Chains A and B, each alone.
Chain A
Amino acid sequence: MKIVVFLKQVPHSDARLDVNGDETWIKEDGIKFEINSYDTYALEEALRIKDAGEAEVIVVSIGPARVTQALRTALGMGADRAVHIKDSEVDGSDSLGIAKTLAAVVKAESPDLVFAGLMSDDGNFSTVPPMVAELCDMPSATSCLKIEASNGSVTVERELEGGAREVVELPKPCLLAVQTGLNQVRYASLKGIMAAKKKPMDEKTAADLGVSGQVGAGAAKMTIEKIYLPPKGEGAEILSGSTDEIVSALVGKIKEQGLL
């Protein structure tokens, strides 16, 4: 069984977000990066399937040199092989451009399963995985909170609103975009980290994948014009002072609400 897992390297969840000079993204210098939280659950699920039987787990990521760190971490957790799409031609791609790039990898690998995170912690687009499935002509399911893969098919529970779940059966090959909380993500062991250094990491360009001219800023149909801090509006009344003063003021407000 072959499982391809998409990984995106994103700014660390605690990283300071400062808008860059042309207000089109955040400043990336000096901040820490990590694997997108949703993707860690996707990777963990693939590794659990691998632990339970024979499976090859291939992790794929797009981005500059720093992305190798994310891929090595994944290899340290147990993935077998990494594909790093490192090509400035892909920069500025919209979701469709990213999807076309990843779809080319999927078509080349011909996996049984493709796992991805539901969305990324930075863009929150939740767009690329189902697009890849459509481009690869395979069925998909998003927000997966339970995955049971058997011989020919996969049964998943999709998270709906209010705690409800939708149970869906899909034939393989299929693509699953997972929700956080699907499992408990493992840490890479020291042994795993050492072994990761020898595992294959292949670099690919847009040309290698046959998507030259279809990706990047030139092909993008949507562009970020501007990002900015949300306008504060009326907002909250911010209490200030010492802890005692704040607590005292707050107790007063709770009393005013008739709740004490």
Chain B
Amino acid sequence: MGNILIVAEIQKGKLREATLELASFANKVAGARGGEVKSLVIGSGIGDLASELAGKGGGEVFAADDAALANYNVDAWTQAIRAGVEAAGADLVLISNTPTGWDVAPRIGAALDAGFVSDCFNIEADGGLTLLRRIFNGKLDARIKVNADVVVATMQPGATAAYEGTSDGKVTDLSVDLSGVRSKFVEEKQAEATDVDLTKADIIVSGGRGLGAPEKFKEVIQPLAEALGGAMGASRPVVDAGWLDHPYQVGSSGQVVTPKLYIACGISGAIQHLVGMKGSNFIVAINKDADAPIFEVADVGIVADLFEVVPALTDAIKAAKG
């Protein structure tokens, strides 16, 4: 039985929560099937973070510490992870399904001719490896059986709790051959500041593809938002289509919001959107599809035509306010 290697990710100088979630998964799997948990931290000046991970379920932590690794680079990470897998004697590699993870993990899967499954929300390791994930933008769940000498899986951030407790681990230096690096990190650009800051809104009324056309936002969503004294938001497809600008986008690649009230109109609830609003205090979902994943996170659901319900709701709110 080989070992389990978790690949850490650093964000703003700290270990990502998602990395500690990998530690949870890895230790759970090691408990079920055997093998040791080991980790890989890639970056520059990351000794402290490597020690921290060693104490948080990371086991022996391989530190690929080099000034050339200060910023993410697909070629450098591919080399570093390959070196880490070999050093760790790993036959299971866990990576978080983040923009970095989905960029590099498949390359590792191909390089190792591995069984590869992405964006998993759970792993079962009794009698072989089974990975659970969602398909069709969250509408269906899938159980995937993996049968391979080496398995690479990316785990959905937030799918489990961070590793709890402390552990003993050591830090081992890992040298990485960076001679074949072809791509070049230029810079990281932050989102531009705008007037639209949904993170400050107490009430958000969001519209999705179900609105059907850009003018419907002005006709249907905006009046309800205004009647409630709230802000207007949107799901990704709306912004992709150019109906609204990016600052209105609620989701993992837009705004993550936690208002007191979130009303989702014509939004099916793809995981990227749910990540952006499931922390809201009270969620109302209006969608004509009873199986829409949005109903999984909603407190109140209305399975109906939003073009009937929303205008009626707007009128009722106005009447209630007098």
Interface residues of A (CB under 8 A from B): 11, 17, 19, 26, 94-96, 99, 118, 121-135, 139-143, 155, 157-171, 174, 179-181, 184, 221-230, 232-233, 235-239, 243-244, 246-248, 250-251, 253-255, 257, 259-260
Contact = CB atoms under 8 A, between A and B. Distances in A.
Contacts of B203: 259
B245 to A, nearest CB: 11
Contact of A169 (B102, B145, B186): B186
Given A122-B135, A128-B106, A130-B103, A139 B285 contact: no
A246 B288 CA distance: 14
A96 B113 contact: yes
A259 B111 CA distance: 55
Contact of B301 (A19, A124, A169, A239): A239
Given A130-B103, A228-B141, A165 B110 contact: no
A127 B120 CA distance: 13
B116 A169 contact: no
Contacts of B317: 251, 254, 260
B143 A139 contact: no
B308 A167 contact: no
A95 B106 contact: yes
Contacts of A157: 189
A81 to B, nearest CB: 26
Given A134-B78, A221-B114, A226-B142, 11 more contacts: A17-B139, A124-B137, A127-B109, A158-B103, A222-B116, A223-B144, A224-B142, A238-B300, A250-B300, A253-B282, A255-B320
Nearest to A99: B110
B303 interface: yes
A129 to B, nearest CB: 7
Interface stretch (B24-32, B39-47, B60-68, B249-257): B249-257
Contacts of A26: 136, 140
A134 B110 contact: yes
12 contacts: A126-B118, A127-B116, A140-B107, A143-B103, A170-B182, A230-B141, A236-B283, A236-B298, A239-B301, A247-B313, A251-B317, A254-B228
B256 to A, nearest CB: 7
Interface residues of B, number: 95
Contacts of A228: 140-141
Contacts of B148: 221-222
Contacts of B146: 221-222
B160 to A, nearest CB: 16
B284 interface: yes
B254 A162 contact: yes
A158 B188 CA distance: 9
Q: Chain A: interface secondary structure?
A: mixed
A130 B108 CA distance: 9
A135 to B, nearest CB: 5
Nearest to B151: A221
Contacts of B141: 227-230
A254 to B, nearest CB: 7
A140 B107 CA distance: 9
B254 to A, nearest CB: 6
B303 to A, nearest CB: 6
B295 interface: yes
A246 B188 contact: no
Contact of B299 (A99, A139, A184, A236): A236
Contacts of A254: 228, 261, 317
Nearest to B299: A236
A63 to B, nearest CB: 17
A181 B110 contact: no
Contact of A158 (B99, B118, B252, B316): B99
Contact of B102 (A142, A164, A243): A142
A246 B309 contact: yes
B3 interface: no
A248 to B, nearest CB: 7
Nearest to B150: A221
B218 interface: no
A124 B302 contact: no
A80 B249 CA distance: 36
A236 B144 contact: no
Closest 7 CB pairs of A and B: A163-B191, A236-B301, A221-B115, A181-B240, A236-B298, A130-B106, A221-B148
Nearest to A258: B260
A218 to B, nearest CB: 12
Interface in B7-51: none
A187 to B, nearest CB: 14
A237 B297 CA distance: 11
A94 B253 CA distance: 28
Contact of A127 (B118, B138, B299): B118
B109 A222 contact: no
